[in-house]
Amino acid sequence: MYKNFKENYPLYEVRESKDLRDLIDAGAKLYGDKAAFKFKEHGEIVSVSYNEFKTDVDAYGTALFDMGLDGKHIGIIGDNSYNWIRSYLAVLCSSSVVVPIDKELTSDEIQYILNTGNCEVLIYSGGATEKKIMEITDNLPDITHFICMAEQTVKDEKHYYIDDVVAKGKELLKNGDKRYLSIVPDNKVLKELLFTSGTTGKSKGVMLSTES
């Protein structure tokens, strides 16, 4: 129970979430088909409901698990977007560690963070960001999977398109795959490596849990 001490308002209930998955589940239960996100795509306004968002995160995480990527360090770099959000939360609700990277960094700086952060998966957006990634691909020996958040320009056994990954996850969920959903989130373990700006030297990774 919380009270606004500046005004004589009555006490009101605030629901506390035990972890991020619980927060996403609660949003779907409370708000269902109401819009959680709205964004422009190909000149059209796209609306994503709370239910659709939960389904996307669950499917995305399920596909990553099926690809053998659970427990890996996963880098994410790109524009602020719905794809960035669902990528970030799908990783945080798994047993993996997310390594968010500033898209304005140089190719060399991005390469340093990915290698220092022990990343084995990279999720990236198109345009200028994709160009930087293509410049350093040969210098990322530990990256086994590249997932593009825009239409792919590179198609081979190591490169994937985000919508294809999510679609695969939805099919797995439809067939009863609950491996990802069965993961019990631990708020106290390492979940994110957040690299500093490196103004006085090389960037250093700050180890964060979801609790912190």
Segments forming the whole domain that contains residue 115: 20-208
Inside any domain, residue 9: no
Rounded average pLDDT over 173-188 = 94
142-158 residue pLDDT tens: 999 999 998 777 778 89
**Is 150 within the bounds of a domain?**
yes
Crossing angle for the helix pair 82-92 and 162-174, nearest 10 degrees? 50
Does residue 12 fall inside a structural domain?
Answer: no
In a domain, 1, yes or no: no
Could you tell me if residue 120 is inside a domain?
yes
Token pair for 113: 């963070």
Q: Is residue 14 part of a domain?
A: no
Which of 3-7, 70-74, 181-185, 201-205 has the weakest average pLDDT?
3-7
Q: Is 92 inside any structural domain?
A: yes
Q: Given this model, what pLDDT does residue 52 score?
A: 98
Note whether residue 123 is domain-resident: yes
Total domains in the chain come to 1
Helices (H), the chain: 20-31, 50-66, 82-92, 107-116, 127-136, 162-174
User: pTM, whole model, 2 decimals?
Assistant: 0.89
Give the CATH number, domain containing residue 90. Answer: 3.40.50.12780
Classify residue 78 as exposed, middle or buried by CB count within 10 Å of its CB (0-12, 13-18, 19+).
Answer: buried
Query: Which run of H or E residues covers position 147?
Result: strand 145-148
Give the mean pLDDT of 164-177. 98
